[in-house]
Structure 1
């Protein structure tokens, strides 16, 4: 079951690297800012710095989760701490997203489902 936790944690991290790409690197493209995030062209200049910052937040969660998945077998306490912190933060961010704006329920589900599964699978390791 530990292997499943590691695979799920890595999948959650990969999704957050993709989110980083959208927010920090591709936000200026209309298909991203308008199509995915619902931001009008006239608002991109004001919102782009926030999206850039948020993108790096997601990248850092992903990096921590990747490192946790890599360490969990050799440095167990550190690996578990990073997996739980990373996936817990991802899940809580998804809850905040949908609580803030119900229009983002699909995005929140995409962002939070695999971290939730990772944490549930991690419970089997207690």
Structure 2
């Protein structure tokens, strides 16, 4: 295993987890604040109230992905690299997949898609390199 790339992968997917944790806070905890729902392009309090249950649920998806990455990183470095890598690939891969769905469904949301998907993607690439090189 290439330790340098493994460290880089951990940092990058960890950053992805932090971003998704922040999205959880916005969607599930701070959604009622106008500054938050405007960040997501919601134009009125009535619209924010209508989509609040969906945002709350979606926030928890982001939290679970962040937890998956965090547990994967811990397992990877705690002597269970196969289990850790599997969790990292699943959780970070889901982050990348969600970013691809976002940009495919609405190209004008390319910036948010890049914010949520680039670090996990680079982390996955780094982890593949780490696991396939010495």
TM-score, scaled relative to structure 1: 0.95
Counterpart in the other structure of 1:109: 114
Counterpart in the other structure of 1:95: 100
- In structure 1, which of residues 2, 17, 26 is the aligned counterpart of residue 30 of structure 2? 26
Number of corresponding residues: 125
- 4+ long deviations beyond 2 Å: none
Q: Which runs of 5+ in 2 are unaligned?
A: none
Q: Which runs of 5+ in 1 are unaligned?
A: none
In structure 1, distance between residues paired with 2:109 and 2:53: 20
Who wins on radius of gyration, i.e. which is larger?
A: 2
What SS is found at the alignment partner of 1:28? coil
Per mean C-alpha deviation after superposition, the further-off stretch among 72-81 and 90-99 is 72-81
TM-score, scaled relative to structure 2: 0.90
